[in-house]
Structure formats: structure tokens, C-alpha cells
Structure 1
């Protein structure tokens, strides 16, 4: 209980019996337990033009009852408005895919932003959980339009063609000074074309292509090592690694150096769908197609690698 005596605030009283002077003391009760409120769903436009209806559930507690009474008149209403503004500002910079797959990370980011505002009010937010009501409009098509077809890969999926085109262009750039070297060395695009006779590249071809997209900024974002156990259609199992814990990162066949942070298990088909953008890590995990041994949050950081591959295609 916060008591004002002749306009002067006194030290917090209670819990228990508190003596008040009639006509002199004015008081206000403050609940120190963890409470919650919801941010009503509002329409937002994401970075890629999608229109969504997004709300949030917020848990908070008062840690300084004096500040909570002196600084704001309606604590919940003010905090709700602060949370809504922070949510709107953050989601406008995200694509629909990022919002759907990184809700936990976005919630943690919002938690820090809201607490920066509310700490001077004697209030601390413990949790922010985003809730997507509906996707009112899908993302807009890229204004650049589709890439032209790659010679020799007509009829294949456009995503495979784009990946092959990127690999082929990188190979040409590295060997522009020696035509003989290009003729003697089979470019990755040709390897993908060979592996795509079945419709999609094999696990070996995909993991070889992944190395082209590794970089120090990506390692800084992920900072983890992954062991990937693949079940082939024949029933055999192959082991690969994606090390994004140091340097510019490494990927290849076999076990990673040291103990991996996360072990992933999936079929070759699911690996193909994952790296070609037809399957999302979170959807694969929720449907049981992706088995995770280790921290799920660290496992979902592989989304950063998939985004890097998509951007550079």
C-alpha cells in the first residue's frame, strides 16, 4: 500500500494491518504479483508486402511500487501502448517468413525494448509472446520478376535453376583467366544438373553447394556446430557437418571437429526440401520430419543459412 499524507508520499506499507488518518491520508494499493495483459491484434504490413493480423501476450510484475504510482497514472494501459508500438516498429522490418519462424527471437527482442521504457516506471516485463491471428494478404511478388532459365536445366524446378545459376556464375568468375581449367573441371552447375536427373540434387551436392554461402557474418549470427545425419532412400545413413562456430565456417561429409552443439536427423528428401526453400525448419520439426538432439533454439538458427542462400540466389 502506497500512502500519501498531506500530499507527501510515505514508505510502502503492508502487507498486513495499516493505520490511516481519516481526511489526511490517501492510499493506493499495488499488486506485486506477476500479471498479464494482451495487446489486441492489429493489421501490419511486413517488409515483403504481406498484411497480417498480429497481437501479443505480455507478462509483467511491479518491482518498485513507489515508482509505479508516481510515474504513470494507468500502468497497464501505458505498458500496453508501449508494447504495441514496439511490436509494430519491429515487425515492419521483418518479412512474413521471418515473423513466422522467429517469433521466439522477436519476442525476446521486444522484451528488451519494452523493459528499456518501463524500468523507470518500476515495472519489469517477464515475457512477450507474439500471436498471429491471420495472414490477410500473402507477400507480394518480387518486382524484378523471375530469373531467365538456365541452359541445360530447362524443365527443372525454378529454385534448382537459380541455385545452379549462382554456382555456375561463381565458377566462371574464379576461372575467367583460364578457359582450359573450366573445360577440365566440371562446374557445380553441371554437377547439380547430373544429380538432378531424379528431379533434385543429392545430399552430397547440396552440402558441397552450402560451402559457397558460408561467411564470417553468418558465423557471427549462428555461432554453432551441427551434425546432420541423413537417411538415404536405400535405407543407408550418411553423416555431414555444418560448422558455423568459428572463422568463415565449414561444411562437408563426416563428423565435425569436437562435439556438435546440435544433432539433426532427417531423410534425404527432407534435406532437399529444406535447402531448396520448400520446407521450413520449424515446420519440419513440428511435423516430425526433423529430429533435433540439443537446443531447439540453436537448431532453428540454421534459418540464417537458408536466408543467406536465398538472398544470394
Structure 2
């Protein structure tokens, strides 16, 4: 029992018999037992575009009755809103597959985040468990397996390939483009020589991108990884009607580029024709204009796909 004498709080009283002065003392009872509530299922959109209904079960207890009375007027409502907001923010950053496979890990992280807020209220959450009620809409860019094409990676690779083909045999000067606001956006190499056995002309038997994969690696740097921080997969449609897949991984280290699909799930999958890719690399077409005109198809986060403009500005 928390007793107020003439408006001033006293030392917590009880349990047991407590003597109160009429008209002078007022009191409020505080239950120190563990209590529980559930966060009602709400509709959320995951990182990969899936719409799901998710709720949670929460158990908490009051460890400081004075703080619970003095700091928050409605403790139950405040705790429920804190749990729901933390759950929403955490799930928006994760794809559906991770939410389904790592519910326990996510619940533990949410427990720590909620306790960081509620400890100042004299309250501690003992247990939180996520409950995925239903998947209302499948992911927009969900891969069917390891052989999924990664259009975004292909797009970045073709872009780089086009930029390289326009300056093949020329000397590249280090330093970022003047249009780039960052001081150290991308590190350049003094000279890049393409392997002689890889063709880069229209009569070449092999696709142009394959001969440039090795030459693209020196362009990648930690500065570009820090600026972009995403993994792209590109599905490029050749004039013959075939489709090649490439990836550009700018999530760790100095970045990595190669043929095929990336090791993990790409953030963006992009698809476009080779002619449109060449226009993009020559700066005759920009990612936003290509997307709005339908020449660039994007699966995933559109804002991440538009970061390709930073790559175009950084590369010479």
C-alpha cells in the first residue's frame, strides 16, 4: 500500500494492517504479483512486402511500487503500448522467413528493449512471446530457392559493366565524382586492364558482364559499402532472349561482385533489358526514370533500389 499524507508520499506500508488518518491520508494499493496481458493481433508489413497478423503474450511484475505509482498514471496501458510499438518496429525490419524461423530470438530482443523503457516505471517484463496468427499476403520478392535470380545485383553489375566499357583502355583517376556530396564515397584504382580472352564488343560470344566481373572488384570499397549497405541481384535480358544473373553484395567488408545469385537473400531484385542497362550506365537513363517508365522492374524495397543512383554518381 502506497500512502500519501497531505499529498506527500510515505514509505510503502503492508502487507497486513495499516493505520490511516481520516481526511489526511490517502492510499493506493499495488499488486506485486506477476500479471499478464496480450497484445491484440495487428496487421504488419514485413521487410519483403509480406502482410501478416501478429500478436504477443506478455508477463510482467512490479518491483518498485513507489515508482509504479509516481511515474505512470495507467501502468497497464503504458506497458501494452510500449510492447506493441517495439514489436511493430522490430518486425518491419525483418523478412517473413526470419520472423517465422527466429520468433524466440526476436522475442528475447524485444524483452530487452521493453525493459529498457519500463525499468524507469518500477516494472519489469519477465516474458514475451510472439504469436504469428496468419500470413495475409505472401512476400512480393520471396525467393523460391537458391536458384532465384537477383535482378538488382544484375542491374548494378550491368551498370558497372557499361561504365567500364565506355572507358575501356583509358586511365581512371581516383576520387569521387563532383556530384557526390560525400567526401569519400568510393575509392578508385589508377588503371584496370580487362582480360584479353573476354570480349566486350557486340560480336563477343560471351556476355559483356562476364568479362568485367574481375575488373569490377577494385571499384568496391568500404566507403561504398557504408553508403549503400545492400545486396543486389540483377536479371538482365540479353538480345537473344536469354537471361543472365549477377549479384553485387555491398553489405560487408569491401563488397563483392560475381555471377549467379548471392549467398543470402538479396535486398532488391531488379530486371531490365541489356539496352536499357547500357543507357543506365551511360547516364542516359537514371534508376527512378527507368522504374517510372517500366523499363526497370524492382522487387523489394524501392528506396534501396534507388541507391543505385549513388553508385552511378560515384563511378567514373
When the two structures are superposed, what TM-score results if normalisation uses the length of structure 1? Answer: 0.48
Greater gyration radius:
2
Higher helix share: 1
